[in-house]
Amino acid sequence: MGLTIKEIIPIGERILENSGVENFSIDAEALLGFEIGFDKKKIFMNWTHEVGDGHSERYFDLVNRRAAGEPLQYIMGEQVFMGHRFFVDPSVLIPRPETEALAEKAIAYLKTHESAKAVLDLCTGSGALAVSLAKACPGFKYTAADISAQALGVAKQNAAKLGVSGRIEFMQSDLFGALKRGAFGKKYGLIVTNPPYIRTGELAGLQREIAGHEPMLALDGGADGLDFYRRIAAGARPYLRPGGLVLAEIGCDQAAEATAIFAAAGFADTEVYRDLSGRDRIVKAV
């Protein structure tokens, strides 16, 4: 006789708790729901449901992967961002809740600036920003650029899944390098970017879920974490329409340095916005 939901979840919880997983209870339940196809409500309403031997075996395989530090999002293959379910795998950074502040600022800007016409998402990764903007603001053309072909494959999959493929051009490009070849070759009213900004020396000290599984290419911002801001600030102007702006996510302790970089590159108006936690998170440069 197999284990019931009420019996199997506590076993998963103990395995995860003993391995140091912070949200062990949430993750144990989520993994079981993922394996047997039950949402949270259905699990709660079916405590006595018997989990078959095959499901039980696969469930504990999933639990052991999580216990070894693999992010829940990679195991389940998705992350919710701006209310949409995005496919993610180890070739892309897992979209963070704090990046929603950047998406919301960009959407607010586009809704009041139809003249922007075109939007460039640099370091698109999973496509979370470009796809979310295209969903919310369909009257614009979008270019999503990333140096990683694998990441662009994920971004294309998400655009197709969420029905915006026709409005996004995908470009394999090291920042601005290949954009001149784009079919939408034009200047942009908005450049939005969440570039790598972790200091190289801090990478090894990140939590194991990040350091051991997420792509270093999407994390390493150089010795001081600011390499990409220097390159973006130096290269952005030829790609911006008159009055266009850059919105860039930053590390919470990088506001002064990042704004100084954009100012030194000739951006006369810079401003810093905070995320929902009250931390500096976004630089605007015009």
Distance from C-alpha of 32 to C-alpha of 39, rounded to nearest angstrom: 9
Handedness of CA 62, 68, 71, 77 (dihedral sign): negative
Largest CA distance in the chain: 71
Phi, psi torsion values for 178, nearest 5 degrees:
-105, 5
pLDDT of res. 1: 57
Per-residue pLDDT reduced to its tens digit, 80-103: 999 999 999 999 999 999 999 999
Burial (0-12, 13-18, 19+ Cβ within 10 Å), 202: middle
**What is the pLDDT of the chain when averaged over all its residues?**
95
Confidence of residue 182 (pLDDT cuts 50, 70, 90): very low
Beta bridge partners of 50: 4
Tell me which residue has tokens 């590390």. Answer: 251
Beta bridge partners of 172: 146
Per-residue pLDDT reduced to its tens digit, 101-115: 999 999 999 999 999
pLDDT of res. 180: 67
pTM: 0.93
Tell how strand 280-285 and strand 84-87 pair up: unpaired
Tell how strand 280-285 and strand 240-249 pair up: antiparallel
Distance between the two ends of the chain, CA-based, in angstroms? 66
Per-residue pLDDT reduced to its tens digit, 65-76: 999 999 999 999
Which among 9, 2, 83 is positioned nearest to 43, based on CA atoms? 9
Beta bridge partners of 248: 193, 283
Q: Is 86 helix (H, G, I), strand (E, B) or coil?
A: strand
Mean pLDDT, residues 124-128: 98
Handedness of CA 165, 116, 150, 93 (dihedral sign): negative
DSSP 236: S
